[in-house]
């Protein structure tokens, strides 16, 4: 008798075990900045604050979204920050900044990187470039794209030409 053995305890040599299917869904794009949002006047900051509170998730907010006096405008650098938070979550299965952690976000103090992880220094460096507290020091999307391409191809990461203030990162990622 031939046929399917799916309900049988017999295993034939041509059957393979079902493999788990991993599906990744990116969501929570409320903080995506389309164009630039000026923050030069009190009115602009009040309007931006309302939008940030209404449409973003706390743990993905860039420092300049937490303290609207930090920058003269919100730019695509807020998206780079959120991408860094997403990379961290995907790599270590925990959020780098938990809810209600404005001080941690403003100081760049995120959850500790687990000491035993399968990633090389390059992955941690990409996350570090995304999570630079100062937007001027944070990578832009082109730099992140180049870094990911280099990582994929087994090359060294391109040198960042941005000014860099030392940050205190727990877990050995960066230190002062």
107-147 tens-digit pLDDT: 988 888 988 999 999 999 999 999 999 999 999 999 999 99
Q: What is the pLDDT of residue 55?
A: 87
Asked: is 37-155 a CATH 3.40.50.2300 domain? The reply is no
Mean pLDDT of 151-173: 74
pTM: 0.77
Half-sphere exposure of 176 (CA within 13 A, CB side): 6
Q: Would you say 45 and 39 are in contact if contact means Cβ atoms under 8 Å apart? A: yes
Which residue, 121, 56, 127, 132, is CA-closest to 88? 127
User: How many other β-carbons are positioned within 10 Å of the β-carbon of residue 28?
Assistant: 13
Q: Is the pLDDT of residue 105 over 80?
A: yes
Q: Which two tokens stand for residue 78?
A: 């807020």
Confidence grade of residue 161 (pLDDT, cut at 50, 70, 90): confident
Mean pLDDT of 37-54: 94
Q: Where are the beta strands (DSSP E) in the chain?
A: 37-38, 73-74
């Amino acid at each position: 008798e031939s046929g399917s053995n799916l309900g049988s305890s017999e295993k034939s040599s041509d059957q393979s075990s079902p493999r788990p299917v991993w599906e990744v869904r990116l969501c929570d794009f409320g903080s995506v900045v389309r164009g630039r949002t000026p923050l030069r006047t009190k009115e602009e900051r009040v309007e931006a604050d309302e939008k940030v509170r209404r449409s973003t998730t706390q743990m993905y907010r860039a420092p300049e979204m937490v303290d609207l006096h930090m920058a003269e405008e919100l730019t695509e650098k807020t998206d780079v920050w959120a991408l860094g938070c997403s990379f961290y979550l995907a790599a270590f299965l925990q959020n780098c900044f938990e809810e209600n952690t404005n001080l941690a976000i403003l100081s760049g103090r995120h959850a500790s990187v687990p000491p035993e992880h399968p990633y090389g220094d390059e992955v941690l460096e990409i996350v570090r470039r995304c999570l630079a507290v100062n937007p001027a020091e944070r990578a832009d999307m082109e730099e992140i794209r180049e870094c990911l391409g280099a990582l994929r191809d087994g090359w060294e990461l391109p040198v960042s030409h941005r000014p860099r203030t030392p940050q205190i990162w727990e877990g050995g990622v960066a230190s002062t």
